[in-house]
Chains A and B, each alone.
Chain A
Amino acid sequence: MGLSEKQIKVALLIFSIIALFLIPTFIKNQSYMQIFIVVLFYMYLGTAWNLVGGFAGVLPFGHGVFVAIGAYVSTILFMQYHISPWIGMLAGGILSAVIGIILGLPTFRLKGSYFALATMAFAIGIKVLIENINTIGPINVGGSRGLLISYLGNSLANFQWVSKVPYYYIILIMVIILVLITVFLMKSKMGYYLIAGGEDTEAAESLGVNVAKYKLIAMALSAFFTALAGTFYAQWIFYISPNSVDNINFSFEIAFIAIIGGRSSILGPIVGALFLKPLEEFTRTYIGSALPGAHLFILGLVLVLVMIYQPRGIQEIVLKLSKKLMRRISKKI
């Protein structure tokens, strides 16, 4: 036996990261590129959601609100005050974290589905609010028409390009950084405390864990990282509206990807996005034209089946298969 399983794992990981970075050199078709970006975008959102929805053991169903905060803050700063979207991204993240804490303070007392309903109501409320506000003082919010991001020329400072390739690299790096942060967090005291509090609040508190505090930290982090994706979305699509960034279906989708992939598993949202997004695109293209809405039906069916037969998500299957494969490879080498 030449290589251990761990060595093969590391080699595979490095290989797939290199492959991901090389994809744009081989795939020139912009619409394929778009699909890759969409998958990575949802991978990122699912991973950010998982920080609180997975590890902290609560079910927030309104993460669209944080995407909206990120998108609106950076767009308003960029278009109306000529501040680089990168700075706007950070500002949106910080505001979003603050809102996350304000939302979490009263709602973390609620249990299970009541918490889910409260976060949903919050997201819907904010959406209606934005739809009905055209201006706040000198700031143009755009109301239900939304805001356009005008093209100011290819540049890193403007976070704008004609080609999709730079967007692909940015979201890829964002995913890698967020996954690394999650791995690091989960191996630290914070991760142990979060998971303990998520599994059994009372038992964790008896062991000295301030569960509410750790859930709030998780919420702030999750809201922060989710908002960064909002800025990315705005710069990538060039248009935001309450309906595009704070739609309740969008909030659901973020959660579903993490849940179907596997809550409180780092691999979960990654597998979830890889599996669901192409499935969705495929069904929309091939079945959607004959039976409009059929893709939503299939998504629902997948969710129900996974919840019944694979409550820990499809990541478990993937892990089992890859372990088997790994063993076989390590025997052969």
Chain B
Amino acid sequence: MSILKTEKLTKKFGGLVAVNNIDFEVNKGEIVGIIGANGAGKTTLFNCISGNLKATSGKVIFNNKDITGLKPYEIAELGLARTFQIVRPFATKSVLYNVTVGAFLRTNQKAEAIEEAKEIIKFLNLSNKMEALAKDLTLPERKKLELARALATKPSLLMLDEVMAGLRPNEIKDMLELIKKINKEGITIVIIEHIMQVIMSISNRVYCMNFGKEIACGTPQEVTKDKNVIRAYLGDEYDIPEN
């Protein structure tokens, strides 16, 4: 069953078509990866879905509801949460404060929101940093905070924009475990990632974008063997020998 669908979604910046006629579909419970080189339009696609950017044309359907043109806070309220590639914590506030802001989406009671926030912080193994100020956190901790805040809004779909960029291998492993754990809780996940191995190991399906267009879609195994994907990553001259 589809939870998120885009129909011919297009975003133009002047003459540049950053997202070109994308038909993208995510089923409930899946982990879907989006890969592509720098500037392929992955983040722009995210921004158009989450309402941070207005699409030039096309439609976004979430839970059978047309959400095209809605404001980011309206979309968040419907249960679609996102993280930002460049982490943007409320720097002068504590980790708990940051996550509580997210939790307030589903309750007006402060005690309830704080309880909820504490549970999520524990779930993400950040408990020892509960009272630390967001600006004093390390990069992996900030990435986790970004994740915690989005989770606190109790989404049914979570869109992660390069949550593993800049992390060390063992930190990536840690993050992968967390994402799997979140998915097991019944939250559908769409994830943008540069690092191929990462996305291959957790995604049920992968989309590959190049110059705003979708060039391949399928299981990780299928996509890695796709000629277009190999060309996009390694250059036009490169061809895999047929065997």
Contact = CB atoms under 8 A, between A and B. Distances in A.
B110 A189 contact: yes
Interface stretch (A125-133, A198-206, A286-294): A198-206
Contacts of A187: 110
A50 B130 CA distance: 27
Given A188-B110, A192-B97, A199-B93, A205 B104 contact: no
Interface in A183-214: 187-189, 192-193, 195-196, 199-200, 202-211
B121 to A, nearest CB: 15
Contact of B73 (A188, A192, A195, A209): A209
- Which of B52, B72, B100, B152 has the most CB atoms of chain A within a 10 A radius of its CB? B72
A199 B104 CA distance: 17
A200 B113 contact: no
B71 A205 contact: yes
A312 B93 CA distance: 13
B81 interface: yes
Contacts of A196: 90, 101
B153 to A, nearest CB: 6
Contact of A189 (B93, B97, B108): B108
A179 B174 CA distance: 45
A205 B72 CA distance: 6
Interface string A298-333: 000000000000001000000000000000000000
B102 A207 contact: yes
B101 A204 contact: yes
B131 to A, nearest CB: 15
Nearest to B80: A206
Contacts of A210: 71, 73
- Which of A187, A203, A207 has the most CB atoms of chain B within a 10 A radius of its CB? A207
B188 interface: no
B150 interface: yes
A208 B84 contact: no
A201 to B, nearest CB: 10
Given A195-B90, A199-B91, A200-B90, A206 B104 contact: no
A206 B92 contact: no
A209 to B, nearest CB: 6
Nearest to A211: B73
Contacts of A195: 90, 93
B92 to A, nearest CB: 7
A298 to B, nearest CB: 29
A202 B93 contact: no
A207 B108 contact: no
Contacts of B180: none
A267 to B, nearest CB: 15
A206 B72 contact: yes
Contacts of A205: 52, 71-73, 76
B105 interface: yes
A225 B91 CA distance: 29
Given A206-B50, A206-B52, A208-B76, A199 B92 contact: yes
A192 B89 CA distance: 13
B173 interface: no
A56 to B, nearest CB: 13
Nearest to A188: B110
A207 B105 contact: yes
Interface in A207-227: 207-211
A281 to B, nearest CB: 33
A206 B76 CA distance: 6
B82 interface: yes
Contacts of A188: 110
A312 to B, nearest CB: 8
A207 B100 contact: no
Contact of B150 (A192, A200, A207, A211): A207
A261 B82 CA distance: 36
Closest 3 CB pairs of A and B: A208-B76, A208-B105, A205-B72
Given A205-B73, A206-B73, A207-B149, 9 more contacts: A189-B108, A199-B90, A199-B92, A202-B72, A202-B88, A203-B90, A205-B76, A207-B73, A207-B76
10 contacts: A196-B90, A199-B91, A199-B93, A203-B89, A205-B71, A205-B72, A206-B52, A207-B102, A208-B102, A211-B73
